[in-house]
Amino acid sequence: MSADQPQPGKDRRPLVGIVMGSDSDLPVMEKTAEVLRKFDVPFEMTVASAHRTPARAAEFAATARERGVRVIIAGAGHAAHLAGAMAAHSTLPVIGVPIDSSAFQGFDALLSTVQMPPGIPVATVAVGKPGATNAGILAVQILAVGDPDLARRLEAHRKEMAAGVEEKARNHNAGRRGCVPAGY
């Protein structure tokens, strides 16, 4: 898991750069990777800490554009300054994932990530795994602005989700899985 190593079996340049504050964040940030794999978007993934390895974090952001990266996704917990550090060192869009690794279950990371000063934005998603999933989808949506094929796959994804809800409603109405049928 390094920005320097190409993904196994892929020789494409990364369009998304995923960075996390610690390898302990991986179970959350893997959700982002799952989304990007589903949409066949090439990405790189590495660990860099705004506090423990500030120079490495700054270099990751400052060199991202020349590696081909179009969107940076940064996940961190505690006093989470990683997404902000990415935004400080790059004009690429930055999505921040607050990670629920602290005693405050991510509330500290949420505030640290979302409360950026005017001029240096971070698009902050929900805390933890749901946020990591949405970070991946949001990155795909940003890339899809200039990629009609990706936009079509996003539409298909929405339809798939809706079909899943319809299926759950059918199960519910049939009284399956302990559900009490509704009147419609």
DSSP string spanning 103-152? TTTTHHHHHHHH-PPTTS--EE--SSHHHHHHHHHHHHHHHHTT-HHHHH
State the Cα–Cα distance between residues 62 and 52, nearest whole angstrom.
18
- Cβ 15 to ligand RP5 shortest distance, Å: 23
- Cβ 109 to ligand RP5 shortest distance, Å: 7
Q: Which is nearer to ligand RP5, 26 or 154 (CB)?
A: 26
DSSP, res 6: P
Closest-approach residue to ligand RP5 (CB)? 21
- Cβ 34 to ligand RP5 shortest distance, Å: 19
State the Cα–Cα distance between residues 31 and 44, nearest whole angstrom.
14
Q: Which is nearer to ligand RP5, 108 or 140 (CB)?
A: 108
- Which residues contact ligand RP5 (rule: CB under 6 A)? 21-22, 24-25, 49, 76-78, 99, 101
